[in-house]
Chains A and B, each alone.
Chain A
Amino acid sequence: MSGLLDWFDARFPLRKVAHEHALSYYSPKNFNAWYYFGSLAILVLFMQIVTGIFLTMHYKPDSQLAFASVEYIMRDVPWGWLIRYLHSTGASLMFVIIYLHMFRSLMYGSFHRPRELLWIIGSIIFVALMAEAFMGYLLPWGNMSYWGAQVIISLFTAIPYVGDALAQWIRGDFVIGDATLNRFFAFHVVLVPMLLLLLVFLHMVALHKVGSNNPEGIEIKLHRDENGIPLDGIPFHPYYTVKDLVGVVLFTFVYLGIVFFVPDMGGWFLEPDNFQVANTFHTPPDIKPLWYFTPFYSILRAVTYPLFGVAAKFWGVLSMGMSIGMIFLLPWLDRSPVRSILYKSPIFTWALGIFVVTFIMLGYLGGKNPSHTDLLFFTNVVWSQIGYFLYFGFFLLMPVYSKLGIVKTVGTRVQSK
């Protein structure tokens, strides 16, 4: 056995990589349950690729055939329903995982120096995931698929001068059609997955360069024993591989529970309007994106006034783009001397709490009719305008409020067991 490994090691850095990235890769000893979501994201990415490959064996990327081919997968292909529900549920759960993964970083300040680039690569992954999900959602060619894509591609028409030509170039036609479906299929199954794999690789490389943050935000690399091993570190394998397996088991219960018992999640994971084939003359009564886009969609719809002689549409699109752009800027917006919420002043805790409530509210409103009143007192559009200011306030006021208040003194060693 060791002879075989020696043969490999002479030709490929097998043992070196295993040591650098697992056996002798020291992670902080105080990871809690919030640290499950990185490995779970990789698990779901793997599931999406595997189920996706098997779906492409039966799916037809043709506007005349697509809808029927999905029904064929559901009814006639052996186990086709399972593979498709694993894929559709996996898409939603990927966003659950990614949002929790990002929230973890917000709580523990994981984007602070020296992890800015790690955070930015992660933010790019988030944008790539949104592109992947958006294009995948057109493929079943249901009525919500069609009109969702129509609305999002029309966002580009808001760009002055070149907008209309750009939207036509993206669609390959005057409206969403066969050309659009075909190219979205190419992007969804080839281009974006390859980009995602590359980005995830870069994310891991950057992570292993700077090392993981931890709930206390203490830099474990600063305190090493005589052999240079961090005093508060433990080898990733076997400690965290085993721990992550517990997360995998718990997650699989949730994942398969949804797949087997509520694959449409009451209209949240698979929308009722999408069980009808795309109808170019009939917009669904309440057009809405899937739940993971609704917070940003609310921000788009919140802007209803033209400004400086430019139409509200442009400002809405710009706001939505900026709301995603804010995420990238986080490492430079947080001026707090400490990383973790455990040491930050209560002002930050309150701001983060308000942000979470705002984000969930915007997400809820994004799935509702703007002129109705589903919350207290005001119509949905007014609440989304309030949410708009709270969302941007959280980011843009951060340089000010993150410096306020009294922070606790951060020790040199991890306190928790």
Chain B
Amino acid sequence: MVEVNFRRRRFLTRLTAGVGAVGAGFAVVPFVSSMLPSARALAAGSPTTVDFSKLESGQMITVGWRGKPIWIVYRTKEMLDRLWKIHDFLLDPESSRTSQQPDYAKNEYRSRGKRYSVLVGICTHLGCVPLSKFTPGVNSGVQSDWPGGYYCPCHGSKYDLAGRVFKNVPAPSNLLVPPHYFVNETTVIIGLNSKEEVAG
């Protein structure tokens, strides 16, 4: 009759189960990783060049980058003047949240220069495309003291013409400014911060 060492048996059982669990954990990695964006999806995120010579004052165009809508807006002087009067209604008027724009857009206009605004047209709440409501006042259909901006139809988030989010709306932060730089007066590259930066 062999005497059973139960302590030893319990230890070995637990050790085996533990090693098996670690192995199972490693085995899960390739399956979980296979669901990450593929090499093809990553490659499709390369920069895009946009000619906006036909863009007129007070108008916007929408282009695609990484499958997202990118707005290029030519703001008039009146549009820019209205930005100053609404600071109290904004959540982050100074663009202090650094993740939402490159450094060169960290200003009240949220743009390089004043005139052209380049924004990712995706609401920071839950990813809908906000509507452009440039007409100020009650005719906008948004609110009577509307300064002109963007209105998200999904959950009612509001942004001004610099893409700055209003207080007390569901969206938590300003619209994203994508990396971009102007090659000349009428051409912009979306996806790169400067000519020197290598696409990655």
Indicate whether B170 reaches chain A with its CB closer than 8 angstroms: yes
B41 touches A179 (CB 8 A): yes
Q: Which of B18-26, B66-74, B76-84, B101-109 contacts A (4 or more CB under 8 A)?
A: B66-74
Total interface residues on B, CB under 8 Å, equals 31
A174 touches B69 (CB 8 A): no
Total interface residues on A, CB under 8 Å, equals 41
Assembled-state Cα–Cα distance A313/B64 (Å): 26
Assembled-state Cα–Cα distance A172/B131 (Å): 27
Chain B's closest residue to A147 (CB) is B128
Indicate whether B168 reaches chain A with its CB closer than 8 angstroms: yes
Contacts of B137 in A (CB 8 A): none
Assembled-state Cα–Cα distance A313/B125 (Å): 6
Indicate whether A151 reaches chain B with its CB closer than 8 angstroms: yes
Indicate whether A227 reaches chain B with its CB closer than 8 angstroms: no
A172 touches B36 (CB 8 A): yes
Distance of A383 from chain B, by nearest CB (Å) = 14
A154 touches B126 (CB 8 A): yes
Which one of A283, A286, A369 has the greatest number of beta carbons of chain B within 10 Å?
Answer: A283
B129 touches A381 (CB 8 A): no
Indicate whether A304 reaches chain B with its CB closer than 8 angstroms: yes
B170 touches A316 (CB 8 A): yes
B38 touches A172 (CB 8 A): yes
Contacts of B125 in A (CB 8 A): 154, 313
Indicate whether B199 reaches chain A with its CB closer than 8 angstroms: no
Indicate whether B58 reaches chain A with its CB closer than 8 angstroms: no
B37 touches A173 (CB 8 A): yes
| B-facing residues in A169-214 (Cβ within 8 Å) | 169-175, 177, 179, 183
A150 touches B126 (CB 8 A): yes
Contact with B along A272-313 (1 / 0, CB 8 A): 000000001111111100000000000001011110000111
Chain A's closest residue to B121 (CB) is A281
Indicate whether A82 reaches chain B with its CB closer than 8 angstroms: no
Contacts of A381 in B (CB 8 A): 156
With contacts A172-B36, A174-B37 taken as known, whether A283 is within 8 angstroms of B153 at the C-beta atoms is: yes
Indicate whether B172 reaches chain A with its CB closer than 8 angstroms: yes
B170 touches A179 (CB 8 A): no
Distance of A159 from chain B, by nearest CB (Å) = 13
Indicate whether A331 reaches chain B with its CB closer than 8 angstroms: no
With contacts A179-B38, A313-B171, A313-B172 taken as known, whether A281 is within 8 angstroms of B127 at the C-beta atoms is: no
A173 touches B67 (CB 8 A): yes
